[in-house]
């Protein structure tokens, strides 16, 4: 006698609960990304302030505990020093950047002249396409009125610039103010989080996650920052030695772009190559600046960074690329710069939470040795 259909197709209760839990988790993650996208104007400065507070926490501990400087004064000194350093960097680079922008029209004209043999073929193709389009246009019917053209006026360049400047200024102000309060708060936020934990083991876990996240991310970002500063200095020296104009500008660009894996190095290489094409006439002189940058970039990426950065924080390249795509789409340039730090913090948290350890394994650069799980059986 055959079994009833209901018993055959029935779904176990555990499976149904796991499906429901997965669905709820997926909706929750989608809601987080939705909120992050539409609230980016306020979440970007908040995220930057949180990450900087983690990076600067060891310095704060040095000033407040070892040097006995009161926490509010230490926080003020650190934030003011950070703002002064940033302002000094902007002022130092503003002159070569403005000079380069002034010469940009002539640079573009020179670049077009030198690339004309390559662009001539494309121009012929475009001209042929226009002729074919003109031949296929239907003749206008007699007595038909000329179609009305509606021109929609968008914001002018000045209006867009002022608007973006205002948004940037507000974001920087929010970030600086929040960073000051976070540093001045010290461990008070951690103490409040510990009081919320239900038992001693959970309290201990909260402290361990906070301390390890703070230590690992501060060491990671400090190491990456030092490496990128050295890369910028080496690139600037190499460009100066090879006779490139505004070598400090290209060194600063290379150091800043190097915070963005893959995309930053490629962008720096393209820009340096174009500037070299405009600057030099001979093929050998033109090839030297991009070749020098490529050598520095490869040495940094293949030798220096793997040796300096902790092996636990070496991230999976696929995870880095996906993080860059997602955060750049949501937050633009700021998301591009924050993608890797956010991914590193997420991996550190996954390392400490038992239920998220498989995600940490997927995000790791080194694939663990996996024993074969499928064995051949004798028939």
65 and 180 co-located in one domain = yes
354 and 263 co-located in one domain = no
In a domain, 238, yes or no: yes
227 and 110 co-located in one domain = no
End-to-end CA gap in the chain: 31
344 and 242 co-located in one domain = no
pLDDT at residue number 370: 44
Which among 309, 328, 348 is the end of a domain?
Answer: 309
266 and 321 co-located in one domain = no
pLDDT at residue number 17: 56
Which among 286, 309, 332 is the end of a domain?
Answer: 309
Alpha-carbon gap, residue 359 to 5, rounded angstroms: 39
Long-range contacts of residues 111-120, Cβ cutoff 8 Å, at least 24 apart = 111/274, 111/277, 111/278, 114/277, 114/278, 115/277
89 and 59 co-located in one domain = yes
175 and 251 co-located in one domain = no
316 and 364 co-located in one domain = yes
Apex 333 CA angle, 37 and 209, nearest 5: 70
In a domain, 152, yes or no: no
Alpha-carbon gap, residue 348 to 329, rounded angstroms: 24
338 and 225 co-located in one domain = no
In a domain, 155, yes or no: no
45 and 179 co-located in one domain = yes
* Predicted TM-score of the model (pTM): 0.68
Domain count across the chain: 3
In a domain, 194, yes or no: no
Alpha-carbon gap, residue 138 to 144, rounded angstroms: 13
In a domain, 375, yes or no: no
In a domain, 198, yes or no: no
In a domain, 244, yes or no: yes
Which among 309, 331, 359 is the end of a domain?
Answer: 309
User: Is residue 320 within 8 Å of residue 343, measured between CB atoms?
Assistant: yes
User: Is residue 241 within 8 Å of residue 219, measured between CB atoms?
Assistant: no
Alpha-carbon gap, residue 323 to 262, rounded angstroms: 12
Left, alpha or beta for 144 (phi > 0: left; psi -120 to 50: alpha)?
beta
pLDDT at residue number 238: 93
305 and 361 co-located in one domain = no
- Residues of the chain below pLDDT 70: 1-19, 21-22, 104, 107, 110-111, 114-165, 309-313, 366-379
Domain range enclosing 99 = 40-115+167-186
In a domain, 130, yes or no: no
44 and 180 co-located in one domain = yes
pLDDT at residue number 269: 92
């Amino acid at each position: 006698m055959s079994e009833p259909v209901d018993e055959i197709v029935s779904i176990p209760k555990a499976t149904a609960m796991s499906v429901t839990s997965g669905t709820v988790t997926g909706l929750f993650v989608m809601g987080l990304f939705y909120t992050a996208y539409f609230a980016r104007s306020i979440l970007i400065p908040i995220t930057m302030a949180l990450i900087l507070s983690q990076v600067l926490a060891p310095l704060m501990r040095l000033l407040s505990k070892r040097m006995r400087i009161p926490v509010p004064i230490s926080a003020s000194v650190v934030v003011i020093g950070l703002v002064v350093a940033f302002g000094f960097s902007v002022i130092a680079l503003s002159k070569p950047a403005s000079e380069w922008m002034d010469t940009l029209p002539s640079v573009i004209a020179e670049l077009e002249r030198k690339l004309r043999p390559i662009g001539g073929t494309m121009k012929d193709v475009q001209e042929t396409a226009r002729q074919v389009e003109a031949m296929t246009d239907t003749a206008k019917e007699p007595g038909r009125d000329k179609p009305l053209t509606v021109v929609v006026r968008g914001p002018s360049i000045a209006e867009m610039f002022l608007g973006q400047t205002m948004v940037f200024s507000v974001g920087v102000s929010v970030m600086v103010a929040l960073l000051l309060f976070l540093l001045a708060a010290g461990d008070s936020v951690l103490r409040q989080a510990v009081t919320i934990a239900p038992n001693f083991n959970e309290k201990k876990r909260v402290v361990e996650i906070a301390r390890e996240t703070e230590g690992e991310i501060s060491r990671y970002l400090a190491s990456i920052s030092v490496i990128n500063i050295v890369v910028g200095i080496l690139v600037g020296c190499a460009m100066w030695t090879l006779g490139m104009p505004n070598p400090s500008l290209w060194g600063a660009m290379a150091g800043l772009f190097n915070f963005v894996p893959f995309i930053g190095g490629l962008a720096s290489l393209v820009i340096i190559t174009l500037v070299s094409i405009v600057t030099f006439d001979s093929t050998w002189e033109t090839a030297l600046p991009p070749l020098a940058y490529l050598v520095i970039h490869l040495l940094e990426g293949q030798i220096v960074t793997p040796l300096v950065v902790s092996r636990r924080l070496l991230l999976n390249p696929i995870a880095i690329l996906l993080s860059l795509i997602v955060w750049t789409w949501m937050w633009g340039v700021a998301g591009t710069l924050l993608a890797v730090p956010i991914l590193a913090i997420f991996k550190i948290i996954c390392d400490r939470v038992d239920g998220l350890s498989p995600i940490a394994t997927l995000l790791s650069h080194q694939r663990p040795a996996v024993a074969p799980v499928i064995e051949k059986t004798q028939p």
